[in-house]
Amino acid sequence: MERALFIPLILGTAREGRQSENVARFVFEQTKKRADVETELIDVRELPMKLDDAGEQMKDPKFSATIERCDGLIIVTPEYNHGYPGLLKHALDMNLKEYIHKAVGICGVSAGPFGGARVIEGLLPVMRELGLVAIFEDVNFGNVAKIFDDEGNLLDQNYVRRLDKFLNELVWMARVLRHGRENIPGA
Ligand SMILES: Cc1cc2nc3c(=O)[nH]c(=O)nc-3n(C[C@H](O)[C@H](O)[C@H](O)COP(=O)(O)O)c2cc1C
């Protein structure tokens, strides 16, 4: 048996009342169900970040070790004025070489109908610069307030199937890249 892939999830907003937390919890629980995947929820609220610094200078040993160990990443991000939350970028910038040749999939969250399609497109150049390899499946959680009830339970079961498709692709890419990192010289 191949060892399990480690694919943590980053929740990219610290906003009071964030709806993206419901999405992150749903994605986390579904990912945990996979026998071939180990996961962990990284909440940007919990990361020790300073406002008067940036980048690897404020590297956190625990966060760095998690990204170093991972085979792939899931980012759950809301769309803020058609872009990504500054705090998510601030957090991602804390690491660098830890990301190289790892798979990434992005779930977008928005109050509007497009499910964060614009924030996902905006994040892609950042993913590339970090050395992450973005998959071509996304999950778009549009009109997010209607997808979960007040307790955070999923109301629209279509998201189970959509997320499954996304995770299948992410697992495939993570497996391919792990094979590459471990077996193909020159990386
Ligand atoms: C600063 C800010 C900017 C926002 N900009 C957009 C936007 O461009 N498009 C959109 O559909 N929703 C926008 N929203 C609404 C969020 O998409 C909405 O709050 C949604 O629930 C996801 O974000 P949350 O996790 O912070 O709740 C914005 C919210 C905030 C706080």
- Per-10-residue mean pLDDT for the chain, 187 residues long? 93 98 98 97 98 97 98 98 98 98 98 97 98 98 97 97 98 98 89
Q: The CATH number of the domain where 74 resides is what?
A: 3.40.50.360
Q: Give distance in angstroms: CA of 17 to centre of ligand 1.
A: 11
Instruction: Report helix, strand or coil for 178.
Output: helix
Nearest 5°: phi and psi at 72?
A: -165, 170
Tell me which residue range forms the domain holding 171. 5-183
Query: Could you tell me if 155 and 148 are in contact, meaning their C-beta atoms sit under 8 angstroms apart?
Result: yes
Which residue's CA is minimally distant from atom 29 of ligand 1? Answer: 80
CB-facing half-sphere around the CA of 101: CA atoms within 13 A? 13
Give the pLDDT of residue 187. Answer: 67
180/96 Cα distance (integer angstroms): 19
pLDDT tens-place string over residues 83-136: 999 999 999 999 999 999 999 999 999 999 999 999 999 999 999 999 999 999
Report the residue among 80, 114, 141, 150 best suited for mutation to probe ligand 1: largest number of ligand atoms under 8 A from its CB: 80
In the chain, the number of structural domains is 1
30/185 Cα distance (integer angstroms): 34
Please work out whether the CB of residue 79 comes within 6 Å of at least one atom of ligand 1. Answer: yes
Q: Give distance in angstroms: CA of 134 to centre of ligand 1.
A: 23
Give the pLDDT of residue 164. Answer: 98
Closest residue by Cα to residue 74 from 142, 185, 2, 169 = 169
